[in-house]
Every structure is written in structure tokens, then in C-alpha cells.
């Protein structure tokens, strides 16, 4: 089950969906793999920076990865919106209905649940 809490017209609205279509599951896996690849690349650049300044080429790659984080957020929001069959769960509704405080946690939780993994710190309803 996937679940997303959005503020709509000043009220908290909980959107739940029992099943994630298998076709959407493959998109979630691809997104997760790309996310992990970016994280490893950023970690490698951090290690290089600890040893000294980056070369011009490495600095450009590092900055490009940093810029990709904004694109990554947009991809994540779009993917989460696509997972829900509820027409009211749109990219705009997500961008406007999540708080900056816990928005990323909610998006990550939806993706983890879509992959069949229980999100950290939550209990499944049975």
C-alpha cells in the first residue's frame, strides 16, 4: 500500500492506494537505481575533495551532479504522482501540498512502499 498526506485547501487529505501496478514498479526500480548511482558518485567526489582540490573536469562533473538533484526532485514528484490512480494527486498538488519539513521523507516513503519495502519507522496496517 502507498500513502501520501497532502494539504489541500488548508486541510490534510490522505491519499491511499492498495496496489501499485507492476508496470509502475519497474519505473520505481529504475528511479531507485539512478538515485543510488548518483549517491555513490557524490560520495566518491567527497572522498576526492578530502584528498585535495578537484581537477577542472572533476569539478564540472561534481557541479553537474549537484544540479541534477533539482531534476531528481522533479522526477521523484512526477513518479509519485504517476503511481496514484487518484486524479487529484498531481505534480502540482504534491509540490503545493507537501511541507518543506517532511516532503522528501513522504516521497521516499511512497517509493519505498511501492517497491515492497516498509518505510523506516512506520508500521504496516494489517
Helix (H) / strand (E) element for 48: namely helix 22-51
Q: List, in sequence order, every beta strand (DSSP E) within the chain.
A: 2-8, 11-17
Strand, coil or helix: what is 11? strand
Contact in structure between 110 and 4 (CB atoms under 8 Å): yes
Strand, coil or helix: what is 63? helix
- pLDDT tens digits along 8-38: 999 999 999 999 888 888 899 999 998 899 8
Q: What is the pTM of this model?
A: 0.76
At residue 120, the pLDDT reads 42
- pLDDT tens digits along 55-71: 999 999 988 888 877 77
Quote the percentage of the chain above a pLDDT of 90. 63
Average pLDDT estimate for 89-117: 93
Amino acid at each position: 500500500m502507498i500513502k501520501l498526506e497532502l494539504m489541500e485547501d488548508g486541510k490534510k487529505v490522505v491519499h491511499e492506494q492498495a496496489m501499485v501496478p507492476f508496470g509502475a514498479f519497474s519505473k520505481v526500480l529504475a528511479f531507485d537505481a539512478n538515485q543510488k548511482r548518483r549517491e555513490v558518485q557524490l560520495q566518491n567526489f567527497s572522498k576526492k575533495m578530502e584528498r585535495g582540490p578537484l581537477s577542472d573536469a572533476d569539478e564540472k562533473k561534481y557541479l553537474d551532479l549537484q544540479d541534477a538533484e533539482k531534476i531528481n526532485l522533479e522526477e521523484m514528484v512526477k513518479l509519485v504522482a504517476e503511481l496514484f490512480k487518484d486524479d487529484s494527486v498531481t505534480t502540482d498538488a504534491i509540490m503545493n501540498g507537501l511541507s518543506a519539513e517532511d516532503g522528501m521523507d513522504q516521497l521516499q516513503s511512497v517509493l519505498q512502499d511501492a517497491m515492497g519495502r516498509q518505510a523506516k519507522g512506520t508500521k504496516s496496517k494489517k
